Amino acid sequence: MTVTATSVGESAPMPPQPAPTARRGRLVRILPAVAAALAGLLLYVSFPPRTLWWLALPAFAVFGWVLRGRSWKAGLGLGYLFGLGFLLPLLVWTGVEVGPGPWIALVVIEAVFVALVGAGVTAVSKLPGWPVWAAALWIAGEAARARVPFSGFPWGKIAFGQADGVFLPLAALGGTPVLGFAVVLCGFGLLEIVRLALKARRTAAVRWVAAAVGVLSVVVPLVAAFAARTLVGDKAETGTVTVAVIQGNVPRLGLDFNSQRRAVLDHHARETERLAAEVAAGRAERPDIVLWPENSSDIDPFVNGDARAVIDRAAKAIGAPVSVGGVVTRDGKLLNEQILWDPLKGPVDTYDKRQIQPFGEYLPLRSLVGAINEEWTSMVRQDFSRGGQPGVFRMAGAGVGLVTCYEAAFDWAVRDTVTAGAQLISVPSNNATFGRSEMTYQQLAMSRVRAVEHSRAVTVPVTSGVSAIIMPDGKITQRTGMFVADSLVQEVPLRSSQTPATRLGVLPEIALVLVAVGGLGWAAGSGVRGRRAGDV
């Protein structure tokens, strides 16, 4: 055997280098995944407390681009990445006091719905007019998320990010489903316009038809939004009422905000009495009604005589009926209750919260959760019971609808309060357990959307802020800071007419779900396949 040595000065052979085309191929393969996650993050940035509502449009344009024409399996994965990019930062407040476990578990589950939407969009993306089918699929995903599991979790509906946007009047036309559909349709329409502007392989006739679909997907929602502005008004129809929103603040942040007996109640009574002194001195307008937040009485006034005396004294001082939030036990049931407290008669009516929060007010799968972490079960020692009827208090002749905190996220819980006779809406809340997170601002935006949806003034009394008064056109006229004691007093209009959204109820959502099902059926029947490599 002959061995040939490498001559002096001769370099050893270099290992083979990957061709530039191979590197580009790998980048092309990972680009959709990165783009999907970043598009989800962009959608999150469009939500409050930021006022960048318009970023939802490019977010859905990019989402449509990464999905269009791919296989359903690819759509499932890309949709999941989009959902994680959106929901992980949006819902980070859910782990403020309990750690990252529940937050991540919630997002992992909720992102599954977005993944299924992604798979559906890939199926309809080659159909004529695909932006319409795809936008309807998104709303169908929101509809499912609002109902399952554990009675649903609608937080993160696209409509709730549009309180400052031009599309907001559409809430009065068809509620959150129509508002959300318009935004998503517009985003997919933008993609279609850009895609066709960059693509020249099609015949002229096909290009013009597809371009028309893209343009209409943008123009029609915008025109409809401007036309719907006629449905939005803040004029009084059945008189006015002067409301006082009380924010008493809490002694400390976190889950143990009410660990000091009667402290929260004393704070709210003290702020009410301070306002009464301002009224007596002529420095504040006298309110007709007074609204306290959820959990503003940290002990049961039906059981504890000292709590009853404190509320009585505050109501007499202000000389007006007070809606008090309390946690009460009745017939062995634990209830999150609003109590109508008359300054002369005491408690005369109650409303029990109907949509209670899983893992916050009751614990599903208690034995399983306890096996994972016993501390979580100790946080919810006894499950709250649900109320059965919508709450409308008659206060100074006005019908005041009660939508307690978490209920504001659910379309049905707000609507049936209005149909039961609410002339204005109060959303008493307690956000003290979420600190200074974005949760408060996200929930405030929901109340603004509800004001337009049902053309009602909305008051938001919160234990620790941000409390606010919102006109029927969605504009905030007064608001407090966070973790301060304060009160807001203002004359607001009473309204009794019903918007198309109120009258139609769930019908627009059903119609959009049927459109989504029809698109999937058409795609399945026509045997639509994934796009070829290089198809943009």
Q: Which residue has the tokens 């977010």?
A: 59
Cβ pair 438, 466 in contact under 8 A: no
> What would you report as the CA-atom Rg of the chain, rounded to the nearest whole angstrom?
27
Structure tokens at 470: 């919102």
Catalytic, out of 294, 361, 438, 509:
294
Annotated catalytic, 374?
Answer: no
> 353, 361, 407, 453: which one is catalytic?
353
Cβ-Cβ contacts under 8 Å for 324 (sequence gap 6 or more): 292, 296, 297, 301, 311, 338, 339, 340, 341
CA-based nearest residue to 321, from 397, 248, 250, 387: 397
Q: Where are the beta strands (DSSP E) in 427-524?
A: 458-460, 468-470, 476-479, 486-493
> How many alpha carbons lie under 13 Å from residue 156 in its C-beta half-sphere?
30
Is residue 294 part of the annotated active site? The answer reads: yes
How far apart are the C-alpha atoms of 398 and 394, rounded to whole Å? 5
What is the C-alpha separation between 432 and 229, in angstroms, rounded?
36
CA dist., res. 55 & res. 33, Å (int): 19
Structure tokens at 462: 């919160």
Determine which one of 97, 142, 192, 405 is catalytic.
405
Reference 519, options 115, 130, 15; nearest CA is 130
Nearest-CA neighbor of 145 among 170, 117, 184? 117
Q: Is 405 a known active-site residue?
A: yes
Helix (H) or strand (E) holding 33: helix 20-45
Tell me the longest C-alpha to C-alpha distance in the chain.
114
Tell me which DSSP letter residue 196 carries. Answer: H
Q: Is 449 within 8 Å of 171 (Cβ atoms)?
A: yes
Question: What is d(CA 190, CA 287) in angstroms, rounded to the nearest whole number?
Answer: 49
410-441 per-residue burial string, b: 16 or more CB within 10 A, e: under 16: bbebbbbbbeeebbbbbbbbbbbbbbebbbbb
Residue 387: count of CB within 10 angstroms of its CB: 22
Distance CA 281, CA 294 (A): 29
- Report residue 119 as tokens: 């798979």
Kindly list the catalytic residues: 294, 353, 405
